Amino acid sequence: MFGLNKKDAGLLLVVAFLALAAPFILNPFPEGSAMAQFNAGYPDLMQRLVIFGIFAIGFNILFGLTGYLSFGHAAFLGVGSYAAIWMMKLLTMNVVPAIIVSVLIAGVFSLLVGWISLRRSGIYFSILTLAFAQMSYALAYSVLTPITGGETGLQPKYDDPRILDGALEAGKSPRANLFGLEMNDGFELSMGNWVFTFNAGYYIAAIVMLIAFYLSIRIFRSPFGMMLRAVKSNQQRMNYTGLNTKPYTLAAFVISGMYAGLAGGLLVAMDTQVGAERMFWTASGEVVLMTILGGAGTLIGPVLGAGFIKYMENIVSKINKSVLEQWFAFMPDGIEDVMIALVYPFVGKGWHLTLGLLFMLVVIFLPGGLVEGGQRIAKLFRGKNASDDTTDATKTPAE
């Protein structure tokens, strides 16, 4: 199927099902119930789940296959976003040219950064990429203000030229679209107390994510992917054989940067505004966490990690003290106060603490990430001992 073996084709179909059925899967609880707080099936969050999934898939091609840890991938996300927003301001609000240009510009920029950074390896490579990202952030935030909008950022305006678009009607603001289909178009389906939202922008981003996921599978299974694994295994030994590994690592870096640019372009397509904060070092650290948490070097791991972190960022962070009071209202007053005091530091503004603890547990007990956890659970259901069988995830922990 599409040049994939049976196992990979099955994995692609599973990811396609999860992406297409997300409005149902992410809204398991009826509206108005106490558990409705955990529903995540609204357009903005669903779009971010798949877009940052693309970002993590691309990062995994570099880190998961070659072992090169970049702390500067947010620079390519930001460059792709700025390229996309300028296409919307100068050319058209159609998202296709914006996405294409964002990928190309991010690819050119990553070629420059990679050509310099890959002269070193290990921690020196990581620091170089971090330096490039911080320089890019500083330029976008202050020096290149006429191009980037500085602190306030950029967004389409009524008086932008937009060569390919006709004049807007009076009072109508420019909106991103796909040949006339606006990204915020959609409808709601009510089934009893459940409400499911189907959004055009989400499904466009989901289809792009599926294409990106398919391409990553082909890269992983290709001779090129095998060469990258060899680089991760022992690059020095390959150099001793007379094989020049630099073109392979540079190609992986550029492909990874283009994935980041694609994610940046899609972010603009879904929400037509760009700020320099997308290039800050914390955004680069976030994609590292996504990849390691899900399972570096695995196919579906980065997608799972991206979904997990974005879910916590947008759902767990909204659980405030009033929500906890509703949850524990059935308890006696003294016990209720104790339970709220125990839980409150780990939710709301303290969601980072919960994420940090979970990340520590995963690194210590599941070095292969969430994918390894799923494999162990599957073996238990099959009646096997997880420790008797070694998998790729356990052979190559995300160190």
pLDDT at 1 (0 to 100) = 63
* Domains along the sequence of the chain with CATH: 6-280 (1.10.3470)
pLDDT at 399 (0 to 100) = 38
pLDDT at 326 (0 to 100) = 84
The radius of gyration of the chain from alpha carbons, rounded to an integer in Å, stands at 22
> Is the CB of residue 235 less than 8 Å from the CB of residue 121?
yes
DSSP per-residue codes, 367-388: TTHHHHHHHHHHHHHTT--GGG
> Is the CB of residue 65 less than 8 Å from the CB of residue 228?
yes
Tokens representing 2? 């599409």
Q: What is the pTM of this model?
A: 0.91
pLDDT string in tens for the chain (399-residue length): 678 889 999 999 999 999 999 999 999 988 877 788 888 988 999 999 999 999 999 999 999 999 999 999 999 999 999 999 999 999 999 999 999 999 999 999 999 999 999 999 889 999 999 999 999 999 999 889 989 998 888 999 888 888 988 777 767 788 899 998 999 898 888 888 888 999 999 999 999 999 999 999 999 999 999 999 999 988 888 888 888 889 999 999 999 999 999 999 999 999 888 989 989 988 999 999 999 999 999 999 999 999 999 999 999 898 888 888 888 888 888 898 899 999 999 998 889 999 999 999 988 998 889 999 988 988 888 875 544 544 454 444 443
The rounded distance, in Å, linking the Cα atoms of 377 and 282 is 32
- DSSP lists the bridge partners of residue 191 as 194
pLDDT at 393 (0 to 100) = 47
Q: Which of 223, 208, 210 has its CA nearest to residue 65? A: 223
The rounded distance, in Å, linking the Cα atoms of 267 and 276 is 13
CA angle 82, 85, 86 (to 5 degrees): 85
Tokens representing 309? 């972190």
pLDDT at 135 (0 to 100) = 94
pLDDT at 390 (0 to 100) = 46
DSSP per-residue codes, 60-127: HHHHHHH----S-THHHHHHHHHHHHHHHHHT-SBHHHHHHHHHHHHHHHHHHHHHHHTTS-HHHHHH
